[in-house]
Amino acid sequence: MSSIRRSLTLYFLGLLALGVGSVAFLADRVMTQTLESRLEASSEALDLRAEERIKEARDKFDQDLLTQARNIGRVMQYQYFHRFERESRKFQCGLVTQLIGAAAMGPLPPAVWSVGMGPSKRSPFGPLSGPVIREYFVNLHLDDHYFRHVVDDERQPEYIQLNTAHGLWRSQGMQGLTLPFRRELLNTDQLITWQFDTVVLPEDHQGRRVILKTPLSLGWIRVPFPRTGTGPPARPFAPPPRANSTDTDPLPNIYIHYARTTGELNTRIARIQAGVDRQKSDLAWHVQWDRRRFRFWLAVIGGVTFLATLFGGPLLIGRGLGPLRRLSDAVSQVSEKDFRLPIQSDQLTYELLPIHARLTATLEALRRAFEHEKQAVADLSHELRTPIAALLTTIDVTLRKPREPEKYKQVLEECRVITKQLGVLVERIMTLAWLDAGKDSQQLETIDVREIAQGCIAVIRPLADSNDITVSTDLNASVGIVTDAGKFREILMNLLHNAIEYNTPHGTLSLSLQPTPRGGAAITIRDTGIGMSLETQDRIFERFYRADSSRTATGVHAGLGLSIVKEYVSLLNGTITVESQPGVGTSFHLTFPSHPHPERIRGGSPTDSSSHVRRLSGDGTMSLRRSGETALPQPPTPS
């Protein structure tokens, strides 16, 4: 057996699982995206930092190369200075000897003096200067003796190449390798400049090179030029350019090539990259750890919530179902002797108020039904007891002494009338019992309402004439509907009988027929009888209820006629209403659809036409026969 508490707990657990699962999924997705964004941003920051450090390492490496090249340049200038000093002395002595020998042979040519070889007191060479001096010093050659201070065996492997106006010099580590060089790349207006590039060193090592352009400064030699008028002042000695040379600098230059293998730089870069990769790995591990920890706590929170709901939900739901339990206890206290619900609406929750109201109404209806059944049993006993007592009394009186045949015949006639009344009463009771049991079937067919109404008027007119009641009809419209003709006729006959029975002397009775907008029939029966109060109108369809119990002149007045009318009207899917005023009269309004069950019957043919077929004759009498049999007339059932 199902339980509301268990069902609500399961529903709530399912809803909670769905909600917690959805929230956990969304939270996990948001957390994952956040962690991935943080990881991506941190990785980009690490990459930028690594690029900066690698750039700093490259710049430092290049700066070390440039610094060493500058040191080599300073050493070269220093060594060249001392050699130039020694060579100057040798040049002076040799030049004087040559000039003396040339003078002994004759005077010097004027062209020599015209190029600056004239006498000068300021020249350290005496009267000699100009192209001869320049040519001598330009052709000075540098050898390994002057570069022994350049190479440092304690430093890491390094490679040096010097390009001068006199030729090429390479360090021993070059192993005969000549580094590629294009002098025009550094022949700029700047006196000192440099350039970095990447070269291939011996043994196919990758190297980094700097080419430094620097002059061999001879600024301490002042060679005067002849002045004529306002000629240019003396300027530093500058040897003329060599033939086929592209060097246009005013001073002789030296191009220092300094290179190192990039192994140390690559090692440093690899160390930086390895550190970055390690930091990225650590960061990714921390991100994964944070994600696992977040998922773990999500699972813990969801599990704790689920367990708390699993064990605490039934308690809370049971507490919430307390008003329902109180209502159930109150309903269990209802008995056939007390139909009052022992609980007030203010003791229940808002959701249970409609149930309380319906239960109260249902119990009240049951109370009335029980009282009605009790009253019905009492009325039925009374109705049966009266004719049975009359029948027994008649028989007892007749049997007290011998009678004449005519007397016996009269007594038997009286007994027959009483028995007939008992039969009608029993028949009506059985009809209501069959209606209550739902076993009364319908014999549907297409009928003409006007013909049936005319037949009922023809049957009831003699009774109306005997009571001095005028009957009028308004049956101009012909309406055809699908219904049970027998039940339809009994409805009209009962209402017409009551209209005559409860009418006043010299009163009137009218019956009108009108078609409804949907093809049905609307019937109105009016009388000018005693009328009814509002209380009576509310109860006239109750069984065994009689508005005027003193009227017993015709038929059996057990209060069942209008009850049967009400049941038949409902069975045929019709409606019946009553309007009445005491002392004025009563009007019954009937409406019937064109078909009582349009979803089951199509075309107006009956659903069951193989058994009994009811036919109405022109005079209003009803006959019942089987298919192919002769119709047998039956008297109308008295109301």
Q: What is the mean pLDDT of residues 264-271?
A: 90
Say how far apart CA 185 and CA 494 lie, in whole Å: 133
At residue 424 the predicted structure's pLDDT band, cuts being 50, 70 and 90, is: confident
For the residues 476-488, what does the mean pLDDT come to?
Answer: 86
pLDDT at 548: 59
> Are 368 and 539 contacting, i.e. CB atoms less than 8 angstroms apart?
no
| Residue in 187, 235, 237 with CA at minimum distance from that of residue 213 | 187
| Top-confidence residue, 244 or 329 | 329
Structure tokens, 466: 């005997």
In this predicted structure, the answer to whether residue 615 has a pLDDT above a threshold of 50 is no
Ranking 93-97, 220-224, 409-413, 444-448 by mean pLDDT, the lowest is 220-224
∠ CA(24), CA(28), CA(34), 5° rounding?
A: 145
Q: Among positive and negative, which fits the CA dihedral 276, 278, 284, 286?
A: negative
Say what percent of the chain tops pLDDT 90: 18
Q: What is the pTM of this model?
A: 0.46
The band of 547, judged by pLDDT with boundaries at 50, 70 and 90, is low
**Dist CA 209 CA 151 (whole Å):** 16
The pLDDT of residue 111: 40
| 218, 220, 224, 230 alpha-carbon torsion, rounded to 10° | 100
Q: What's the whole-number mean pLDDT along residues 248-272?
A: 81
pLDDT of 123: 43
Average pLDDT for the chain? 75
DSSP state of 114: I
**Mean pLDDT, rounded, for 417-435:** 76
Rounded CA separation 548/532 (Å): 10
End-to-end alpha carbon distance in the chain: 52
Q: What is the dihedral of CA 397, 403, 405, 411, to 10 degrees?
A: -10
- How confident is residue 318, by pLDDT bands cut at 50, 70 and 90? confident
Q: How confident is the model at residue 344 (pLDDT cuts 50, 70, 90)?
A: confident
Which backbone phi and psi does 515 adopt, to 5 degrees?
-75, 145
19 membership: H or E segment, kind and range: helix 4-105
pLDDT, tens digit (0-9, with 9 covering 90-100), for 287-307: 999 999 999 998 999 889 888
Q: Of 561, 420, 574, 424, nearest to 498 (Cα)?
A: 561
pLDDT exceeds 50 at position 317? yes
Which tokens in the block code for residue 321?
């179902």
What's the pLDDT score for residue 139? Answer: 52
In terms of average pLDDT, the best of 162-171, 526-535, 552-561 is: 526-535
* Pair of tokens at residue 504: 């006043």
Confidence band, pLDDT 50/70/90 cuts, at residue 60: very high
The per-residue pLDDT for range 141-188, each reduced to its tens digit, is 555 555 555 555 555 678 888 887 767 878 877 878 888 888 887 877
The per-residue pLDDT for 30 is 92
Average pLDDT rounded to a whole number, residues 399-415: 83
pLDDT at 607 over 90: no
Return the structure tokens found at 338. Answer: 């007390």
Radius of gyration (C-alpha) of the chain in whole angstroms: 69
Please tell me the predicted confidence (pLDDT) of residue 229. Answer: 42
Q: How confident is the model at residue 421 (pLDDT cuts 50, 70, 90)?
A: confident
In tens, the pLDDT along 165-177 reads 767 878 877 878 8
3-state secondary structure of 396: helix
Question: CB–CB of 586/531 below 8 Å?
Answer: yes
Mean pLDDT to the nearest integer, 506-531? 90
Indicate the residue type of 422: L
Q: What is residue 351's predicted lDDT score, i.e. its pLDDT?
A: 81
**Other C-beta atoms lying within 10 Å of the C-beta of residue 598:** 11
DSSP lists the bridge partners of residue 214 as 254
**Choice between 224 and 596, residue whose per-residue pLDDT is larger:** 596
pLDDT at 35 over 60: yes
581 has pLDDT over 50:
yes
Is pLDDT of 271 > 90? yes
Specify the pLDDT at position 63.
93
Q: How far is CA 23 from the centre of its chain?
A: 13
pLDDT value at residue 443: 80
* % of the chain exceeding 70 in pLDDT: 71
Q: Contact, 577 vs 526, CB < 8 A?
A: no
Angle between helices 353-398 and 405-437 (to 10 degrees): 170
Please tell me the distance from the alpha carbon of residue 509 to that of residue 495, in angstroms, as a whole number.
11
- Contacts for 181 with CB less than 8 Å, ≥ 6 apart: 161, 163, 211, 255, 257
Question: Taking Cα atoms as reference points, which of 137, 171, 141 lies closest to residue 155?
Answer: 171
Task: Return the H-helix or E-strand segment holding 132.
Answer: helix 131-138
Task: Delineate the domains of the chain, giving CATH numbers in brackets.
Answer: 4-221+237-266 (no CATH), 324-439 (no CATH), 441-634 (3.30.565.10)
Q: In this predicted structure, what is the pLDDT of residue 535? A: 82
Helix residue spans in 348-478 (DSSP H) = 353-398, 405-437, 449-466
Helices (H), 224-341: 263-320, 322-332
pLDDT digits (tens, 9 = 90+) for 357-403: 888 888 888 888 787 777 767 766 766 777 788 888 888 888 888 87
Q: Residue 611 above 50 pLDDT?
A: no
Q: State mean pLDDT over 608-626.
A: 34
**Residue in 539, 559, 549 with CA at minimum distance from that of residue 425:** 559
